[in-house]
Structure 1
Amino acid sequence: MSLTSALSPISEAVAVCRDALGEVAERQPGYLPMPERETLLTELVALEAQVTELRMRTMAASGDVASVRGARDVAGWVALQTGTEPLRLRSESKVATSVDRAWPRVGAAMARGALSLEQARVITAGLDALPARIDDEARTRAEVHLVGLGTGEREDAPEGGYGPRHLRMLAERVLDVVAPEIAEEEDAKRLAALEAAAHAKTSLKIRSLGDGLTRITALVPDPIAARLATYLDAFTSPRQHHAGTGGNPDAERLPQHRARGLAFGALLEHLDPAKLPVHGGDATTVIVTIDHDQLTHHLGTAGLLDPGHDNGGELRISADHARRLACTARILPAVLGGKSEVLDLGRARRLFTAAQRTALGLRDKTCRGEGCSIPARWCEAHHLDPWSKGGKTNLDDGVLLCAFHHHLEHDPASTTTRLANGDRRYHRRT
């Protein structure tokens, strides 16, 4: 008795496929005629869909495997046994659960190789989002409609069916087909929910890589991303450069991601600081510290005040970069003498004005509470000697503290110790 004859029909089919593919592992498809390769490519995609559907269906029925093997879920156990990515398998499991629970026609189309996993994921997501108030008959019509568009079996679908991107748009408007009387109302609710969810998940992370580059990772609502892309593409247009509006003359020769990266810098340099919010006593200002001799020569380095940077709130840049920044509006060069004392940072008659706050920020960079990294622009200026007791409001008598440490500074239940480096240490009185 052969090994395959002792297996179930499902396992036998998998074994036969693996054996057959193993026999052609050394064959080179590049020698096949082009028509045969064209057919082979489409058949391989269909085979992959069938294999994926069978794996999903098996995983959906194998919760006991995870229980017996002590795994969190069957996807985690399969990933451990096969060296695959558990997140991908768990994503498949979600589609499998949706298909098994409510959308059998999607699974059937995958099983015959007519729908890919990506198409099935988009279709099930659209079907799962249908409002609860539509009946089962409308749900079935929606499933049949979207499956037909994905497989290409409908007359209004292209040969081979719509891809995931188009299917997503069609799934969002499927109510226009199966329940047009409520489509607009439900679409408005859906968009409002999407916008609220996007707002709640919006984030932007800035992390220095330590090699002169910083990684910026942002998750923003689609309209914000579209606006940014529009603005960046304006800077990447060679025509804009020729018109004298700051476009990139090399944009046509650069990959889009590189052209947009360079355009991002140009966009920031062209912002009008006068229209930016006031914080820390002045409108948004970039402060560059540079030695006077280096400012007047081509060699040397400068410091760009950056409260978010790991190097004590100061990012090192070249002198050439500093000179270029100094030509941009709202760039404040803090020229330093031999002992790094501030030679010229602006004077004002009133104390703790914007210029003084800038000087305090340049000096302290962050809150002076011990171990605190709150940036200077978010801090409050504090008198070391209280004004009410004759203290002077000058730079030597001022220090920047965040709201939390400023509160402790004035809290009678706390004691304050000034450390050798000028930081403030606080203890609760006993």
Structure 2
Amino acid sequence: MHQIQATLATIAAALDEATDANPVFLATPDKADVLARLEQITARVAELRLRVIASAQDVAEEVGARDVAAWLVAQHRVESPAAHATLRLARELETRPVVRARLAQGRFSLEHARVILRGLDDLPDDLPAEVLARAEVTLCDLAGEHRPKDLRRLTSHLLEVIAPEVAEAAEAEAIRRLEETANANATLSITDQGDGTTRIHGIVPEVVGHRLRTYLQAYTQPRIAALEADGKVQPRSRLLAHAFAQLLENTDPTRLPAHGGDATTVVVTMTLDQLRAGLGVAWLDDGTPISTGETRRLACTAGIIPAVLGGNSEPLDLGRTRRLFTPTQRKALALRDKHCRTEGCTVPTAWCDAHHDQPWSHGGHTNLAHGSLLCGHHHRRAHDPNYYTDRSKNGEYRFRLRNNRGTFSTDMSSRLPST
């Protein structure tokens, strides 16, 4: 009889003797000792099983199976993914004699062994043999002192411990490969949904995602300003969507790459009467319709070209981005306004847009006397035809919702100017 068969027979006989033994009669220190010894025995039996699996290809060939993992699935109803993962682990242990020996001694668990093997596989391929050997011993020593989760974290700093002279170069190469893969996998799709929305889906390198997140956070309103009309806090996903819109609107088009022989611009077309009356719709250069209120709001901050047409559809004016407030003007507005100029709103100037108090279509100018800082929420209100805009004596904005009859939804209409 082979030694392995004899060992298994001994284990089976011993287990038979303990089948009816009740652990409740063990003293507490004895229970602790039994549990510790069972952990060791479990690891040792697991190693023995893996050692046999690694050499059992002939068992699979005997019945025409592809490998011993397929044999386990067919003969012992083992789940296929688990069986093949076990076979891979058995083959990996064959190439790591120190890990296999320590597991056979019950020095650590099978999960520890998996973490060690993964950590060794993640090391650079061109490391000297003596460094790899030192790494294997070091991880096996650490496994006796740390949980698998903690050991997994330590493997990322392994080279810094065993070979600091090559750690920096290896880390740089690993990062380079990671970035190369990220750039190769980058993708972005922009799909119109047909309901007034566009779905944007993308996978970008981590550094790009970090930069976008940082930019959007600069536009995200403080919690006090992130409330819906009913007082509920807006979802963060919605705040980020609005912040993304603000980021695009505040991008300087003169700094974008040339597009079709000219700086990239967005052209909005509408008639002069529509712009002045706030009625009807405008069209982007790809035919997308937008409201006149949205057009006016965009004209405050975005680098758009409003192509205003006369009665015969001839261009009356092609606006220029000098309608945008300059950085110097924004600083002056910030010093003057301190925060959003809406009554009761304290959103700081860093999160505000520069708004034209008098629209361009009505002779407004881009200067300090005709400008105010409004947060994104109130800037949309200022250009929303469903709201009436009023100014207090100290210049603060106030908004009142109109009802369906064009009058005001409150009894304050008697003291508000007529529209």
Normalising by the smaller structure, the TM-score range is 0.3 to 0.5
TM-score, normalised relative to structure 2: 0.47
TM-score scaled to structure 1, two decimals? 0.46
Q: Which has the higher contact order (CA 8 A, sep 6+)?
A: 2
